[in-house]
Amino acid sequence: MKTNQLSTLIVGFATSIMLCLGANTRTNAQTLHVGATTAVNATFVLDKGLADDPRYNSTFTVKAAPIGLTVGMDFKNGVAIQLEGILAKQGQVFDLINAAKNVVGKREIDLTYIQVPLMFRYIGNMEKKTRFNFMLGPQFSFLTAGREIVTAPAGTYDTPEGQAAVFSSVYGQGAIINANNTYTTLTPANEYVVASFNNPVAAKNYSNFDLQLSGGFGLDINVAKNIYISALVRASYGILDARGSDLISSVKGGTSKELFGRRSNLLVGLQLGAHYTFSL
């Protein structure tokens, strides 16, 4: 199924759920709300291959989800459903470490997704000005851009057992293979493109679709008639392998120069929003 067909199916399914809930609980319905959000997130790429590679140390990486739209229905019993559309930046920066354990370069993963969470919410103290809420649900993410680049200078690097020749063939032309699972490159600093979503040959190194479990908790605060603001701690974790099928096949088949390991996206951050409500 193509990405645009899948996205249409998801939005249609979510809309049908909201309409059915509204029709079946009309006597309990309290409000319909629409809003806009923005967020700052700590993002992580959980990749066993990178974790096992002695050349890389993960760093704390912060990215933004600058634009988000929400529409939801809240009921008097505190149960609610909310559909969102979010433009989110994800990825992580890994320090490149030489054999002397000095940081000499980096591996940078930049990804942009359109995220579509379908959140089921519970709202406490519905009649109060300040209300606590908790939410959980599936998140459907569609990759719109991505690249993965290694900046590597000349030097000597540790590698996993028996992998020196494999890694040197990628990161250093004419590299010297040492006897202690290291290799030494003689070329000056250079940029090596591991994958690029905009390159049709490399595009399948990423999966165009990611299914995630998303959750959050926080506060809704009334600031004016029919207007409230929200402040939430949000998190999401990718259930599927975030890499493309072509890359996975090449790694398993021994033609890739990457260590094999499942890759997942993890996000933890703070989301702020402003919402307008319509009484039903």
Asked, for residue 171, whether it belongs to a domain, the answer is no
Asked, for residue 28, whether it belongs to a domain, the answer is yes
* Confidence at 230, pLDDT banded by 50, 70, 90: very high
Taking only the tens place, the pLDDT of each residue in 138-181 is 999 998 888 888 888 888 988 877 777 666 666 666 688 888 88
Decide if pLDDT at 18 tops 60: no
Asked, for residue 160, whether it belongs to a domain, the answer is no
User: Going by C-beta distance under 8 Å and a sequence separation of 6 or more, which residues neighbour residue 101?
Assistant: none
Asked, for residue 170, whether it belongs to a domain, the answer is no
Residue with the bigger pLDDT between 15 and 24: it is 15
pLDDT recorded at residue 91 = 93
pLDDT recorded at residue 34 = 95
Q: Tokens in use for 84?
A: 């969102």
Asked, for residue 183, whether it belongs to a domain, the answer is no
Q: How far apart are CA 278 and CA 254, in angstroms?
A: 58
Count of residues in the chain = 280
Decide if pLDDT at 127 tops 90: no
pLDDT recorded at residue 166 = 67
Decide if pLDDT at 14 tops 60: no
Asked, for residue 261, whether it belongs to a domain, the answer is yes
Decide if pLDDT at 246 tops 60: no
Question: Could you list the residue range(s) of the whole structural domain that residue 261 is in?
Answer: 3-153+189-279
Taking only the tens place, the pLDDT of each residue in 182-200 is 888 887 767 777 776 665 5
Q: How far apart are CA 203 and CA 243, in angstroms?
A: 10
Q: What is the mean pLDDT of the chain?
A: 82
Task: State the total domains in the chain.
Answer: 1
Mean pLDDT of 21-44: 78
Asked, for residue 224, whether it belongs to a domain, the answer is yes
pLDDT recorded at residue 203 = 46
**Hey, how many other C-beta atoms are within 10 angstroms of the C-beta on 195?**
20
Residue 12 burial (CB < 10 Å; 0-12/13-18/19+)?
exposed
Q: Output the domain CATH number for residue 65.
A: 2.40.160.20
Asked, for residue 161, whether it belongs to a domain, the answer is no
Q: How many CA atoms lie less than 13 Å away from 181 in the CB half-sphere?
A: 9
Q: How far apart are CA 105 and CA 93, in angstroms?
A: 10
